[in-house]
Chains A and B, each alone.
Chain A
């Protein structure tokens, strides 16, 4: 059986390794179009602050890992897919045949429609190549503008500040990380950043980027203007699925639609990770979560079904994020926005930047936001994914949300409240 995987990110690599484990005789090839060995984008912020070398971002540290596992890693670009012939056309001009194909090509930052966005001083922060540009572009005290305070924007924010940037952050939403943190939480995070000297502008938009003598002028809504040596654009991403045009693979908002077996609308073509519109554990709906744990989750489930279709019915991935913004740690789980008719428990200590918010459907936990917490956070996942009926423990949590660990132990070890 010949398995071909498009994309050498976490989804592709984990899928390849899983196929190898399940079928020692299978032929496994990963085609990736970045020149470096397979690496993790998530580690880029730590590279920016010199905590690690580039090798520290590699998904697998053993140099011979892929050859030892008989996984071929090819650097090339897939330009089109012909499902009828079960074959791929590559940028190098070659063709490659497959029995089973996995689309794990990830996503790419979008370029927001702003005049001057193509200025050479504007970059995204997505690849190792981008990271090199950023590290060479930031000198201590250099004015830098970050467009977007979403999850990725906030993740690199700390790295930019530690690298010495004099940072301005421009966010369209009314708070930081509006798609991960609720109003109280996002607003507290904004206050924290401002107190640490970051110029945060929420409900604001970059309107133009203009050349100035030796830097650029960034025009911001409300007649504001900031000079910058470097502009980093983190205004959202879109799936890398252009090469599927004409293949008949069904798309939704540019991402590959998959079923519970990670299969696309076309037989023998599967998808995983940022490029896939996969099942959300909490809502049962299909969406792009664009996070590392989901990419890995997808990669494993897809691989099992590529080896033996029907082997693993994917239950959906729990949406989860964790963010460290200059020492303030926030996290979100599942349906943190709550549901109609559900209850919400909150505990807030604004002076100390601590916050905990729990969302319930009846007596089950379905989502949460945390700020300033580092202990036992994972148990929130346990509670959400376990769909435990908490009974009277729910009432205790309504009074004191900090008792999540106790509630979990009670639910799993039969301690009645």
Chain B
């Protein structure tokens, strides 16, 4: 069964362990600036919101790519970028309406969350269960909706 990242911003304390784990796993350095998951801070409201790709079914990035460099990993459901195919045109970065595909000027390729191949390190690193890796029996779109609705409720609760 496919699993997906489940984010519960109410539980986030802004410790940035997820960003550290992500950048270390993917870039080999502890550098939040290189993380694919990002914790946004709302100072005035005292809120933290971890945010990354939801591997949506719509996969705007995948459809926009002119050279088929983004494909779905059938085992994990993640949309993965193939560095050897990507030409670095950045069309996926402007097409993703969630802003979760980013261009890396050093490599000339784009980076996005790939669920670490099925063992997302952000979820393992999160000490408060704000990020968990759970069974996803819903479709990507339903996942998005559920995610949006849930965080909505959390916000108004």
Enumerate chain A interface residues (CB-CB to B < 8 A): 10, 14, 40, 42-43, 46, 51-52, 56-61, 292-293, 296, 300, 320-322, 324, 327, 329, 331, 333, 374-382, 385-386, 405-406, 408-410, 412-417
Contacts and interface: CB of A to CB of B under 8 A. Distances in A.
A327 B105 CA distance: 8
B45 A416 contact: yes
B90 interface: yes
B136 interface: no
A113 B105 CA distance: 39
A59 B93 contact: no
B155 A415 contact: yes
A116 B61 CA distance: 43
B51 A43 contact: no
A331 B94 CA distance: 8
What is the interface of chain B mostly: helix, strand, loop, or mixed? mixed
A374 B155 contact: no
Contact of A61 (B9, B68, B151, B152): B68
A59 B99 contact: no
Contacts of A61: 67-68, 85
A406 B48 CA distance: 10
Contacts of A333: 94
B67 A378 contact: no
B97 interface: yes
A320 B103 CA distance: 16
B141 interface: no
Interface in B48-98: 49, 51, 60, 63-64, 66-68, 85, 87-91, 93-98
B102 A375 contact: yes
Interface residues of B, number: 41
A296 B47 contact: no
A381 B103 CA distance: 16
Given A320-B94, A381-B96, 19 more contacts: A10-B66, A43-B89, A46-B89, A58-B67, A61-B85, A293-B91, A374-B90, A376-B38, A376-B100, A377-B93, A377-B99, A380-B99, A381-B95, A386-B97, A409-B49, A410-B42, A413-B155, A415-B42, A415-B155
Given A58-B67, A405-B40, A413 B152 contact: yes
Contacts of B148: 412-413
Contacts of A321: 94
12 contacts: A51-B108, A56-B87, A59-B66, A61-B67, A331-B94, A376-B38, A378-B99, A382-B99, A412-B148, A412-B151, A413-B148, A417-B45
Contacts of B151: 412-414
Nearest to A382: B97
A40 B67 contact: yes
A293 B101 CA distance: 15
Given A322-B91, A374-B103, A378-B97, A409 B67 contact: no
Given A327-B105, A374-B93, A415-B45, A46 B88 contact: yes
A322 B66 contact: no
A377 B151 CA distance: 22
Contacts of A386: 97
A108 to B, nearest CB: 19
B94 A381 contact: yes
A10 B64 CA distance: 10
A382 B49 CA distance: 17
B83 to A, nearest CB: 12
Nearest to B155: A414
A329 B68 contact: no
Closest 5 CB pairs of A and B: A379-B99, A382-B97, A376-B99, A40-B66, A414-B155
A84 B49 CA distance: 59
Nearest to B97: A382
Contact of A52 (B38, B87, B99): B87
A169 B151 CA distance: 50
B40 A292 contact: no
Contacts of B156: 414
B105 A322 contact: no
A42 B66 contact: yes
B95 A293 contact: yes
Nearest to B102: A375
A375 B40 CA distance: 13
Contacts of A377: 93-94, 99
A293 B64 contact: yes
B111 to A, nearest CB: 10
A57 B60 CA distance: 20
B67 A43 contact: yes
Contacts of A374: 90, 93, 102-105
Contact of A415 (B47, B68, B100): B47
A378 B133 CA distance: 25
